[in-house]
Amino acid sequence: MLPNGFLERMKRLLGEDYEDFLASYERPRNTGLRMNPLKGEAPKLSFCEERVAWAENGYYLQVEARPGLNPLHDAGVYYLQEPSAMAPATLLDAQPGEIVLDLCAAPGGKTTQIAAAMCSEGLLICNEIHPKRAKILSSNIERMGISNALVLNEHPAKLAERFPSYFDRILVDAPCSGEGMFRKEDAAVNDWSEETVKMCAARQTEILNSAAQMLAPNGRLVYSTCTFAPEENEGVIAQFLEHHPDFIVERVEAPWFSCGRPDWIEASAQGIEHTFRLLPHKLRGEGHFAAVLRRSQTGQRHEPALQETVALPPAIREFMQLNQIFMPQQAVAFGDTCYLAPKGLPKLNGMKVLRVGLELGEVRKGRFVPSHALALWLKEFPNMANFASDSYEISAYLQGQTLNADFRGWTLVCVDGYSLGWAKGADGVLKNHYPKGLRRSNAKNN
């Protein structure tokens, strides 16, 4: 049951396309996943169908598939993501070595897609204003084996004060009225109103203004929503361009998507026709909007003070050397936890920080206890216990049980060759070190 006000507006805007638009709601919802190249070569999965045209590692899923139950999901081999939601990060086109911001990042789908494009080189700052969602974001960063991300829980305006003219690329996947998710989330339908659309447009403008302050000269900013409302899409961009003459809509070739509609808004702005609409009756995906913006080359990049780093503690350095793990000898410490710092990490005093690069682990009573994040990041380790994804051993491991295997000391448990977590071997038994908060009560495999 779609809201009447929404249907009346879409009928007025779409005209002769309206019936096709309505018919799209009768088709099965498109689901998808992205393979994670940071984990190595992608496996061939029976539940993956054709590729998503606009996402390098994206695939459509079979309707009956349940890939979230497969242990490869726990290992970070892929991320479940709606196909249209893969478009904004593709348009951002982040490059290795750049400084990139995902401003409204939770739960992490677009962040992890950006990280894959950066190939672990450069600095990726991902921010989420809501604390609970920020924790989910941090968890997904860990699961996907990302080593160069800084996870923050801040208001965009505070970040703008801290990082003016700093980022090469910024993604603003703005909170919106969620019209494009009506088929996916009942709450989006129940919460919708014309007042909500207006409220979202005002909030989006505020967030976009903060993002503009943080973009370096000649930088690229991608604004996206998952709604059809012109007030939140072309209207926000037109208003933004009016108040930011140093920005233009950058023309990008994306033949899979429909063009933005300047005729759907009262205000006028040059380049609105070069924005993008993803319409469910035109492609295999839900409703989205995206605009690629470019800042002029006038001005200079701001260079913030860098975070002080420390040498790796002896216990960690010994662990790395013993297990043939090459790692730069610079780190940052937060309490008892040590992180490998991304290159060029800015000073973090006064910031709400959830994750700083790659969490290495803790030193307890002079002994190093490696983190789950380190396990998921590793591809090789002297002790590797590898089991098939449909094996009893993997099912038992994910439930926190001990395994019978002849290893001594820290052992990397792998599923189909992909790192999954730690165990510690002695006397023919592997003691389980899979995090208790991630364990399954009744692990099942696809």
The residues that are catalytic are 226
Q: Residue 196 has which token pair?
A: 């909500």
The residues pairing with 332 across neighbouring beta strands, listed in sequence order, are: 339
Give the number of residues written for the chain: 446
Q: Residue 387 has which token pair?
A: 């089991």
272/283 Cα distance (integer angstroms): 21
262/142 Cα distance (integer angstroms): 41
Which amino acid makes up residue 395? S
Helix axis angle for 234-243 and 194-214, nearest 10°, is 40
237/233 Cα distance (integer angstroms): 6
- Close Cβ partners of 37 (under 8 Å, ≥ 6 residues apart): 57, 116, 119
The residue whose two tokens read 């005002």 is 202
15/339 Cα distance (integer angstroms): 55
Nearest to 177 by CA among 191, 163, 162, 160: 191
